[in-house]
Amino acid sequence: MSEPLTGVMPKRIRFGSRGTVVGPMTQLAEERERLAGLHYEGFSVSQLGATIGGVIDGVDITSDLPDATIAELRRCLLDFKVIFFRDQPLTAERHVAFARRFGDLEVHPFIPSNTSQPELVRFEKEATIGGFENGWHSDVSWRAVPSAAAVLHAVEVPDIGGDTSFSDMYAAYDGLPTSVKERIENLVAVHDFSRVFGLSLDDDARAEMQVKFPTVEHPVVRTHGETGRRLLYVNRFFTLRILGMSETESDELMDLLCRQAETAEYQCRFQWKQDSVAFWDNRAVQHLALSDYWPQRRIMERASIIGEIPV
């Protein structure tokens, strides 16, 4: 732990005509120091980013863990927003069994599953199938009840490339100017699958899926169902527009809000190895998978835990 803050706080400064802002993100200090002081029963955690990301050591998630350890992992997930494990050779069955300890699992209607476990979606990318996950997003925000969390297992990864970055949406909200917070406090946005998953469907199939999964409305600023903290809940993949605004006004505000995920100080970046696992709180973070490994193979499998209606 560092010494308590004293004296005058350094301020961020803006220079040039393009609005570039530099300087220390002093608002991150309290959460960074809180995470540094946490302890858990049965395992240790190495902090990866300032306010996000913890690498777990001392837990074998391929085994049938006791309830007390599961409860501690849940607490750790809520604290660090995303947690990582190394050397976890999960079978499809054990992957699903571990994820199910944290809640009911969803079945994704668009991404192919592991053949033996429909709750697992399989991302298999190689020379003829590129990776298109390299944009900031939270999963399935187009659902009326989006997922609460996800467990992603690296089945096969390239020697270099394919890292995943995660961005803290609590920090993104906290870092907004007060005037912007007041402006967005009660706004609602429309979310839809079509811009992403609709690209692979013909007109008839897209219309059929739009009946099954119509557009939904979620608050621009939601309250986390377990921590009670406020966070930004819009993303470039699935959020179409903000209600009650002209298209131009909505686009400008959406761009401002979505750019917050791009702030490097809000992020952590995880370098995959075979049998690494990432377990993220899909409410509290957005993520981006780097698409820098083509034409090499990258195979991942994900189980997603059903969440709550965003409020």
Active site residues: 137, 139, 287, 302
Question: How many Cα atoms are found within 13 Å in the side-chain-facing hemisphere of 234?
Answer: 25
- Ramachandran region, residue 275 (left: φ > 0; alpha: ψ -120 to 50; beta: rest): left
What is the dihedral sign for C-alpha 297, 105, 48, 28?
positive
Q: What is the rounded CA–CA span in Å between residue 117 and residue 113?
A: 7
Contact, 50 vs 172, CB < 8 A?
no
Q: What is the rounded CA–CA span in Å between residue 222 and residue 230?
A: 6
3-state secondary structure of 141: coil
Provide the token pair at 90.
């999960």
What is the strand order of the sheet 285-289 is part of? 267-270, 164-168, 285-289
Q: DSSP class of residue 126?
A: B
Question: Of 184, 144, 137, 193, whose CA–CA distance to 165 is shortest?
Answer: 137
Beta-bridge mates of residue 218: 189
Provide the token pair at 131.
């990776």
| Cβ neighbours, 10 Å, residue 48 | 19
